[in-house]
């Protein structure tokens, strides 16, 4: 029996050792831009210094050709085109362009224009019902480009033409408005909207000229998790338009998955928290994580009280005509010039939290492509114990030899485990020498050591428990 116990202990320690060798290795690649990368996202260049005309100018020959081809298709139709808008943002654009719709999305968070109150609903923006879409026999379906990979195959399956609007930034929205005006014969309405933006932007640009640009990190919350919003996302583009410097700007992706240790190395001046969907759940999740996860207490933005929640109505996934209100909300957050501005920023953040908690967002079903998969672990094992009796003298001698080998293996694993433990706590973005680690743990406070202790020690403990569970289950199965 002793031999069996030692064998199990050796298996457990071996599994933990293998896990420890990986504990400090975290993939922190952020999808850097390459010179030959072709992307549809907005450039992360500083748009605050560009003129409105340059932001809205359409220069891509392929884009122009696509608009002309779509315009010709519409002109060849008998009567007015049958159009479906599958998101609140695209419905708002159609309303401004005075376009009639045969189908529109449903939403418990955003308001659909009154023009379409009697129009048949086709489901949520992220998951429109293809049967309803097909039954409406649309000529065109309009959706945000952020959902193109999910929705394009569905639209192709029902044989409809489609247009995915670039709503990742305010300039992108107005370029889409120009193109829709050209396609559907609404140039006058489009020109009026573009003129309003141009006048607003030229006036707004002067507001923050000469001011220091604060470093900003934007957390986009999902129920139970969060990601980083880059300048290629709508919220990121608003911050950039206001003159903020996104600490994760060197990428062509909209969103990044980054660990908190890497976030700490960026040391933002301001942390903004927005919701991807279900804002009531996201606010609760953020509050709990910032209260219970000690790593956040090491961020200067948290220490200085510069963590703000953004109003979901203004800072969603797609550009809307409420961008002036969004920029107005950002102004005292990014550029507090008095105690009154600081209080105003805090009040806006508190109101954003209250609106999120009072919203009816949880009722809306969210089906985001492959972002959060739940892993089901079925640890069902029935163990039957078989006792061995009447061992011969030869068998006993063999067991003694195996016991000795197991004991030696046990000691070696213990030593290796200790060595890998101290290696694991010092592998990652933050590095301290072994003497500094010991001094910071047992002698005097050290900021880097405290960060490592808060972030990596729990990871190591979890690795130990996971490794032990896997090893024990394996031993039990083999023993059956």
What is the full per-residue pLDDT of the chain (480 aa) written as tens digits? 444 444 444 444 444 444 333 333 333 333 333 333 333 333 334 555 566 677 787 778 888 899 999 999 999 998 899 999 999 999 999 999 999 999 999 887 778 999 999 999 999 888 899 999 999 999 999 999 989 999 999 999 999 999 999 999 999 999 999 999 999 999 999 999 999 999 998 888 888 888 899 999 999 998 888 999 999 999 999 999 999 999 999 999 999 999 998 999 999 999 999 998 788 889 999 999 999 999 999 999 999 999 999 999 899 889 999 999 999 999 999 999 999 999 999 999 999 999 888 875 544 444 433 433 333 333 333 333 333 344 445 556 666 777 888 888 889 888 887 777 777 776 777 777 778 877 887 888 888 778 877 877 788 778 878 887 888 887 777 654
Which of 92, 151, 152 is CA-nearest to residue 368? Answer: 151
| Residue 162 β-bridge partners | 141
Instruction: Using only the alpha carbons of the chain, give its radius of gyration.
Output: 29
In this predicted structure, what is the pLDDT of residue 54?
72
How far is the C-alpha of 255 from the C-alpha of 168, rounded, in Å?
12
> Is the CB of residue 11 less than 8 Å from the CB of residue 471?
yes
CA-CA-CA-CA dihedral for 410, 414, 415, 419, to nearest 10: 150
How far is the C-alpha of 165 from the C-alpha of 438, rounded, in Å?
56
Residue with tokens 């063999």: 398
Model confidence, pTM? 0.65
Phi, psi of 335 (to 5 degrees): -130, 65
Question: Is the four-CA dihedral 165, 171, 174, 178 of positive or negative sign?
Answer: negative
How remote is the C-alpha of 92 from its chain's centroid? 25
How remote is the C-alpha of 226 from its chain's centroid? 5
Residue with tokens 């320690």: 13
In this predicted structure, what is the pLDDT of residue 244?
94
DSSP conformation letters of 280-349: HHHHHHHHHHHHH-GGGGGSHHHHTT-EEEPPTTTSSSS--TTHHHHHHHHHHHH---SHHHHHHHHHHH
């Amino acid at each position: 029996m002793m031999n069996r116990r030692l064998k199990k202990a050796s298996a457990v320690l071996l599994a933990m050792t293998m896990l420890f060798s990986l504990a400090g290795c975290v993939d922190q690649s952020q999808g850097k831009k390459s010179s030959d990368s072709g992307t549809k996202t907005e450039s992360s260049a500083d748009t605050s210094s560009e003129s409105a005309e340059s932001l809205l100018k359409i220069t891509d020959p392929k884009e122009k050709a696509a608009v002309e081809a779509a315009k010709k298709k519409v002109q060849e139709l008998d009567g007015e085109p049958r159009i479906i808008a599958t998101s609140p943002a695209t419905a708002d654009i159609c309303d401004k362009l005075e376009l009639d719709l045969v189908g529109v999305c449903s939403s418990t968070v955003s308001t659909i224009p009154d023009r379409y109150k009697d129009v048949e609903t086709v489901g949520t923006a992220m998951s429109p019902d293809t049967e309803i879409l097909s039954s409406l026999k649309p000529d065109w379906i309009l959706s945000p480009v952020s959902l193109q990979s999910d929705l394009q195959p569905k639209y192709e399956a029902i044989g409809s033409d489609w247009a995915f609007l670039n709503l990742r930034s305010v300039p992108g929205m107005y370029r889409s408005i120009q193109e829709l005006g050209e396609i559907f014969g609404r140039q006058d309405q489009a020109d009026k909207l573009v003129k309003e933006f141009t006048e607003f932007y030229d006036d707004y640009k002067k507001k923050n000229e000469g001011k220091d640009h604060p470093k900003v990190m934007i957390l986009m919350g999902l129920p139970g998790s969060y990601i980083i919003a880059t300048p290629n996302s709508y919220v990121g583009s608003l911050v950039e338009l206001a003159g903020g410097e996104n600490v994760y700007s060197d990428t062509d992706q909209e969103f990044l998955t980054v660990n908190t240790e890497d976030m700490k190395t960026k040391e933002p001046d301001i942390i903004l928290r927005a919701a991807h969907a279900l804002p009531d759940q996201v606010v609760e999740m953020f509050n709990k994580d910032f209260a219970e996860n000690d790593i956040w207490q090491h961020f200067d933005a948290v220490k200085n009280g510069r963590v703000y929640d953004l109003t979901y109505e203004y800072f969603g996934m797609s550009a809307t005509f409420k961008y002036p209100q969004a920029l107005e909300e950002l102004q005292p957050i990014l550029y507090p010039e008095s105690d009154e501005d600081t209080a105003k920023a805090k009040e806006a953040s508190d109101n954003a939290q209250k609106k999120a908690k009072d919203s009816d967002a949880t009722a809306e079903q969210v089906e985001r492509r492959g972002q959060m998969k739940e892993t089901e672990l079925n640890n069902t094992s029935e163990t039957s114990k078989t006792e061995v009796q009447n061992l011969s003298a030869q068998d006993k001698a063999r067991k003694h030899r195996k016991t000795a080998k197991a004991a030696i293996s046990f000691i070696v694993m213990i030593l290796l485990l200790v060595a890998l433990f101290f290696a694991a706590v010092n592998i990652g973005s933050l590095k301290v020498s072994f003497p500094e680690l010991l001094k910071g743990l047992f002698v005097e406070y050290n900021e880097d050591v405290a960060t490592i202790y808060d972030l990596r020690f729990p990871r190591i403990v979890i690795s130990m428990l996971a490794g032990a569970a896997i090893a024990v289950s394996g031993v039990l199965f083999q023993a059956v």
